Structure 1
Amino acid sequence: MRVPLDKGFWESDSPVGQSLFGGTFGWPLLVARSGTVDRNIATIAAYTRRHGVAHAPHGKTTMAPTLWRAQLDAGAWGITVATADQARVCREFGVPRVLLANQLLDPAALRWAAAETDAGFDLYFQVDSLEGVAAAAATRGTRPLQVLVEIGYQGGRTGCRTESAALAVAGAVAASPRLTLAGVTGYEGGLPDPAAVAAFVDLLRTAAVALAHLLPPSVIVSAGGSVWFDVVAERLPGDWLPGHEVVPVLRSGAYVTHDDGYYREHTPFNRVPGEGGLEAALELWAQVISTPEPGLAIVGMGKRDAPFDEGLPVPLAVRRAGGAAPPAAGLTVTRLMDQHAFLAVDGAALAPGDLVRFGISHPCTAFDKWRAIPLIDDADVVVDVMRTYF
């Protein structure tokens, strides 16, 4: 694998087998702990089996085919994506089943979806309007496109807001020979508390019951971001749709690397600790490039390298030349610029050239900043390099 122009890589030969601190990498650099990733994947695979839900983890979190394959190998039902472009990447890398959690309206994307469906690709996408149904129904092909009616809630994102709207959309799907109504879907991630999420999952069930006369014998019912999957897994499975088999599909994806910020605070395992736990797998290593005044260090990373939409990076460790590791206590990121981080220093001693290990908050906006991410083992040796395709 040749990665000479990817940031952080200074040699064109494969770094696999080399130490992270062996002189062939530059800073900043985002890495992932391979053992932690494996444990997180195993934890959620066991959780979904235990609760009787299928899992289509959201692939847009990472856009890393290496991780998709690991999730599929652990038993994932499919991979979820948000755009047709992301679905194309999945198809290119051999993902057999994709749930596209949006409505498709672009004719070029729909032509591609129709052609790939005819070629055997198991693709599902959402509709929440008669316009969306009409756009999909206008395609040509030999196999019908598989669609899910999306249910929403007032003030939320997409999705039908009323039962009558859902019935109209589902009826239009059923009337088109180009389409197959495969089930219902929704997204609860923007809701404020477990009670609101439980009510929304019940709304999905009510919608499926109302559409039962239009649904196939095996019905996909899908929901589940990374904050409320415990509520979804509790209420979505079961024999609650007479005459039909319910296939509950959970779409949570951020678990694969977890984080040291937003998801550390919001993981469902905080509510149900007996069900398991997740660990932060991503580390952002950056170098102190200046200590211009007392109490301040400037680190060579910024908005181009680290997520900042759901919290700033969290200093976790310091490493000096030769491997010395003074305490990281008293360090706080206060501000990010494009390529610089302002680090408040309270009692810690930092010098130019020191490395700081940061945890990140919100992996969904970390991966997109890196085309190549080393996977390292517990001895800081590179075991693989993941490529991302945003």
Structure 2
Amino acid sequence: MKKHLRNLDYPLLVIILLLSLFGLVMVYSASFVEAGLDPSINDSGYYFERQRIWLVLGLVIFFFSSMFSYRSLRKLTQPAFIITVIFLVLVLTSMGVTVNGATRWLDFKIFLFQPSELAKITMVLYFSHILTRKQDRLDDFKQGVLPPILLLGFVFGLIVLQPDLGTATSILIACGIILLFSGARFRHLFTIGGAAIALVLVLIFGAGYRRDRFTSFLSPFEDPSGEGYQLIQSLIAIASGKVNGVGLGNGVQKAGYLPEAHTDFIMSVIAEELGLFGVLFVIITFMALMYKGVMIAKRAPDRFGRLLALGITFQIISQAIINLGAISGSMPITGITLPLISYGGSSMLITFATLGVLMNVAIKGNMKRGYVEEADEDVPTQQPLRTVK
């Protein structure tokens, strides 16, 4: 335990605590009006109290997963993948719970669980494991690259059917980053990337509601009371905040004007109440998280650890970018939340679990100078990542 605590990456821990505690405060500020006026709740602190419970549980999971050797996760890759697929299939049956027109949850009585959140870490783990094991076959597209891509496409399709294109896209990005740094040939990456972009565009324009959302983000004021309403309210909140903001808790848009103020659009509330300074705090903190993740990957003891650290880092960062793009009108609205800040149990617990794994990679990297690590089962620890061909 002492060795574990001594080798913690404390800057990473500070970043995680800053984001999650800041998020807890903003969840209360963004939700107390809605929760207090809702006759089915009638408690202004309802969402805050639940988020506080998720935060405590998340921290417990974080420290537990940081103590659990990330190398041991390789043995869990196959069962984790199977369980994830089963959950994703169950969501599409009568067991799935529909909220706001999307069927993304399973009801576990105590809480609603979102299997697509589990798919985030499962696919990062699977890609890191399989591309480490197949590193000597990555030049062969059919044997090395195609099999994991097909499984990724299968999971992507299950999530899109919920529908949840935002989460599916963030998983696609994270796995793409892992594939990029695994050493796959450039022409293979170009082909896969082109196919992925074409697929996303087909999915956007192939469904009426997705097409409307896409066009509404380009010109929201053409339908101010329909598809453009949410983005317009978000832009009003951002504009109202200016540099200093209107003050914590004093925002107006959360009082019935801005839908999903404490979840998808919590960043709009931050912009309104804390102004440019609040926005910069969030962006800079996420940039610091990305920097730490890349450095942890660089110092990881083996290839699997490097790919895993990169995948976890860019899974979280891509989700943040998609969310920030949506609330500012730079990207289509996808319904994806802001990691560690938005309200939500499944997202909070899974994010803390993945960050715990990232911390474990950092710990192993810090320990590497003190003693000889156990060798990776597929790759010598001294072998560096191959460059992209």
Same fold by TM-score greater than 0.5: no
Give the TM-score of the pair, scaled to structure 1: 0.28
Give the TM-score of the pair, scaled to structure 2: 0.28
Q: Which has the higher strand share?
A: 1
Instruction: Using CA pairs under 8 Å that are at least 6 residues apart, name the structure with larger relative contact order, 1 or 2.
Output: 2
Higher CA-based Rg: 1
Q: Which has the higher helix share?
A: 2
